[in-house]
Structure 1
Amino acid sequence: MLLTSAPVASADQVRDAQWPLTVYDAEKVWRTSEGAGVTVAVIDSGVDASHPDLAGQVLPGKDFTGEGSPHQDNDGHGTGMASLIAGHGHGANDSSGVMGLAPKAKVLPVRIWSTKDTLKPGNWAEGVRYAVEQGASVINLSLNDSAAYPGSKVAKAIEYAQANDVVVVAGTGNDAGTVNYPAALPGVVAVSAVDRGLNFWSKSNTGNVTVAAPGVETPQADPTSRSGYVVADGTSGSTAYISAIVALLRSKYPDLSAGQIINRLIKSAAFVNNEGKKAPDKQLGYGIARPGTALTMDIPAGPKEGPLAQSSPSTSTNSGAASEDSDSTGQTKEENSSPSGSIFLIAGIAAVVIIIAVLFVVIRSRRNGRNGGGPGPGGGIPPQGTGYPPQPPTGHQAYPNSAPNQGYPAAPGQSPQPPNPYAQQPPHQG
């Protein structure tokens, strides 16, 4: 699950090494929101509720492995993600250990694997549904699973979560390929990683990226380490930081829909220290997320659906397709209903006229053919066998296999390059 990890000697060193808190000016952020009243589901290897940095933050949760308790974490990954989201440190004035970016949020542990080799592809859909039923408004998926392709059980579970106003956040992957599932599913916030210089981490997967966040050399809790902490690289950590930012926003703006929260996240992101990039960028998406700006910037709420594509019968096989209610238009479907009716009426009349004209030309052509005329230069139907051969459909293979993902519990899937989520264009087939 973690590409690299190294133990940290002491909790004081951990706090000193938490550079994301410095970059985000966390102390100032917490004056506006600490994530109170928000539940973040961490669907992972379990969360050690007894870790000193998480005591009191972890809800009962549920174990879907049949091997133990949701508070049992044999790998340490789930506890690490929970600490980056809602850790509160410990010791005098909580000055030691990991401080999460949303320290007042609650963590719902949903245990779906015990070690990286025990995650059964596509077998954690019920965990997602359980998180929704338990009131989680944010779901953190620091994992890849090629079986979470559009139309799969997992994809339908994520659609269920989105239909119930839940923000789903997932890591793009750590093998420098294209964005993996479930991050590549419509409406999911796909997160890549940056280092302490805010430079793109080269092992992050690219393509349909939504935003980026710190994911390199991030200290996090780990009950399997002798010190209780590790420093790790990977989009797992950057995903956790985005889930924390979403928790801050959901606490500050409880009346906004999941899509409107994502809109705030995207509109407030920026290409800090990355001049020359244009959104959407295949590495950083709409930029590096900025929690302070997201919380305080004057951003119109926009449509409830938000700027990311939503799953539907017509788009369920497309990753990152533009939403019909793109925020860039500033209009809702209701506002466009009257003009659309006129357009359809005009289009229908025009179609009838064209059909009549075509029939007239065809009939006349056939009559000419019976009189000995043939297709002249530049027109008519070419003789059989002289036309171009049928071409196979172009595009990406639906779900190709790829090299084993060193940073995730299962082999990643692949997804096609997306169109601009703010562009008004039909979705591409992939």
Structure 2
Amino acid sequence: MAVLAAGALLWGLSAGPASADNIRDGQWAIKKYDVANKVWPISQGDGVVVAVIDSGVEADHQDLAGQVLPGMDFSGEQGDGTVDKLGHGTGMASLIAGHGHGDQAGIIGLAPKAKILPVRIAISPSGDINGGQDRLPEALRFAVDHGAKVINMSFGGGADSAVRAAIKYAIDKDVVLVGGAGNLGNHNTPVNYPAAVPGVVAVAAVDQQGNIWEKSNRGPEITLAAPGVGIYSAGNKSESDYRAADGTSDATAYVSAIAALIRSKYPDLSAGQVINRMIKSAVAPPDGSKVPNNSYGYGIASPSKALAPNPAVDGGSKDNPLLGRVESQGGPDGGDGGASQSAAPGDGSGKGSGQQQAAPLKKEDGGGVSMAVYAVIGVVALLVIVGVVLVVRRSGGRGSGGPGAPGGSAGSGGPGGPVGYVPPGGQQQYQPYPQGPQGQQPPQYYQPEPPPPASENPYR
């Protein structure tokens, strides 16, 4: 299962000498959250470690220097996680804990005094396997065991029993896990794993007006929405490199930062109470739609509202409120959960992670269909599977999936493979979400739009 295969990674990377001042001006989320007046006087994330499980983090970037702890490399290479050959992990880390540089220049994170624990896993832009085996369960456990109170997972793929067991381990150890919903972009695309696993905060992306990004995956697992369109972040090409992107990856990083802000201000709250604070303080969607819904979840995450006194939440249950969430893709008992599974983590019965048990088949639902019909269906399905395997093997293990679709793998040729696909005899793949049009970069002369009146601002 899981080395991260990126498929076609269409992240926008800065190729020119973009002014760092322009970068700061372009951080619209920081402005709309009014962090200088409403957030940072209350909390800046001091004392909280956020693990970024991703492509690594460039610790020497000018906007991250001093913020990145020694981590671990599970990509098959040696190191402490502070090498990033793609830039995705560096970007996520900067949105969480970047401190900028100079006089109001560069990327400032939403929780600029939090620390980043880089946990590198194998990612390849061509869809090839780096490392040859899945290390995500180990990466999750490492993050928990090395002090992370929040874990950022801006990638998608499957979630088999080993991944679920590691997620359960993190939840049992009082860690907030945050995952991206995915960037496939239509109403019929479900929330990707591992974000869809019960207990994980699944995040959708919204634009400056608070409207849901058209490519954000949707489903009942969505917990919160956050800024994810036209987002600037640190890059990996140099110590002064920047990138621009659209996607739920960036939105996930912002929600992870909000969780860090809360954990810093209220260190005695459980992870479940932190999640409850974010849920119950979320801002209603600008379209007036009723929440929770499949696009926004409980609404747009608001750091200032999440930090406000809330005795009802703080004195309530310490349990994770998302553990009982139904998985629209079925989970271990009603489907493959993005991968082949036999049981939920815990007691092995499938009842340990809050999944809804499948109802018995009734006659009116097809329960009266003869066994002969099922046999014929089974034979046809087997023939189709055999045909697919032969095609894949003849093509050298490289499929022809459409560009930009997540789920690519060494067995499917990168982009276009189904999410959580397991190639014959191979390992399940994960991939960070492709973001933004190819070549997108921060503009040289960015003109920020004027701030809307406070009464019209969907972020406060």
Aligned to 2:124: 115
Name the stretch that deviates more: 39-48 or 108-117.
108-117
Check whether the contact 1:3–1:234 (CA below 8 A) recurs between aligned residues: no
- 1:345 aligns with none
Distance 1:175 1:121 in 2: 26
Q: Distance in 2 between matches of 1:188 and 1:122?
A: 20
CA, structure 1 residues 135+97, in 2 after alignment: closer, same or farther (shift >3 Å)?
same
Rounded to whole Å, the distance in 1 between the matches of 2:420 and 2:351 is 18
- The reply to whether residue 303 of structure 1 matches residue 312 of structure 2 is no
**Structure 2 CA distance for partners of 1:405 and 1:186, relative to 1, 3 Å:** farther
SS, match of residue 192 in structure 1: strand
CA RMSD of aligned residues (A): 2.8
1:156 and 2:143 equivalent? no
Output the CA distance in 2 between the equivalents of 1:121 and 1:406.
22
Distance in 1, matches of 2:170 and 2:74, equals 18
Summarize deviations over 1:219-238 as a string: whole Å, max 9, x none.
00001279500111111100
**Corresponding residue for 1:63?**
73
Match of 1:181 among 187, 190, 193: 193
Q: Is the 8 A contact 2:58 2:82 kept in 1?
A: yes
Per-residue CA deviations over 1:239-286 (Å, capped at 9, x if unaligned) read: 0000000000000111111001000010000224221x1222101100
Q: With the length of structure 1 as denominator, give the TM-score of the two structures.
A: 0.72
2:136 maps to what in 1? 124
Cα deviation, 1:155-210, whole Å, max 9, x if unaligned, reads: 11111000000000000111121101100101000001001111100111110100
Contact 1:121 1:145 in 2 (8 A): no
Report the alpha carbon displacement of residue 96 of structure 1 after superposing the two structures with TM.
Answer: 0.8
- Which ranges of structure 2 fall in alignment gaps of 5 or more residues? 1-5, 325-344, 358-366, 375-387, 389-400, 410-417, 422-460
Deviation at 1:388, TM superposition (A): 4.4
Aligned residue number for residue 47 of structure 1: 57
Q: Which amino acid aligns with 1:253?
A: Y
| Alpha-carbon distance change, 121 to 294 in structure 1, aligned in 2, over 3 angstroms | farther
Measured after TM superposition, the shift of residue 39 of structure 1 is 0.2
Q: Deviation of residue 287 (structure 1)?
A: 0.4
User: Which is further off, 36-45 or 8-17?
Assistant: 8-17
1:89 matched to 2:88? The reply is no
* Equivalent residue letter for 1:73: D
> Take 1:204 and 1:121, find their aligned partners in 2: how far apart are those partners?
29
Contact in 2 for aligned 1:53/1:97 (Cα 8 Å): yes
Question: Larger RCO: Structure 1 or Structure 2 (Cα < 8 Å, ≥ 6 residues apart)?
Answer: 2
Q: TM-score normalised to the size of structure 2? A: 0.68
Q: CA deviation at 1:66?
A: 2.8
- CA shift, 1:64, in A, is 1.0
Matched, 1:5 2:12: yes
| Identity %, equivalent residues | 52
Mark the runs of 5 or more structure 1 residues left unpaired by the alignment: 323-386, 394-400, 415-430
**Distance (Å, rounded) in 2 between the aligned partners of 1:189 and 1:230:** 25
1:355-403 Cα deviation digits (max 9, x unpaired): xxxxxxxxxxxxxxxxxxxxxxxxxxxxxxxx9446999xxxxxxx997
Q: 1:305 to 1:19 in 2, by over 3 A?
A: same
Change (3 A) 1:110 1:6: closer
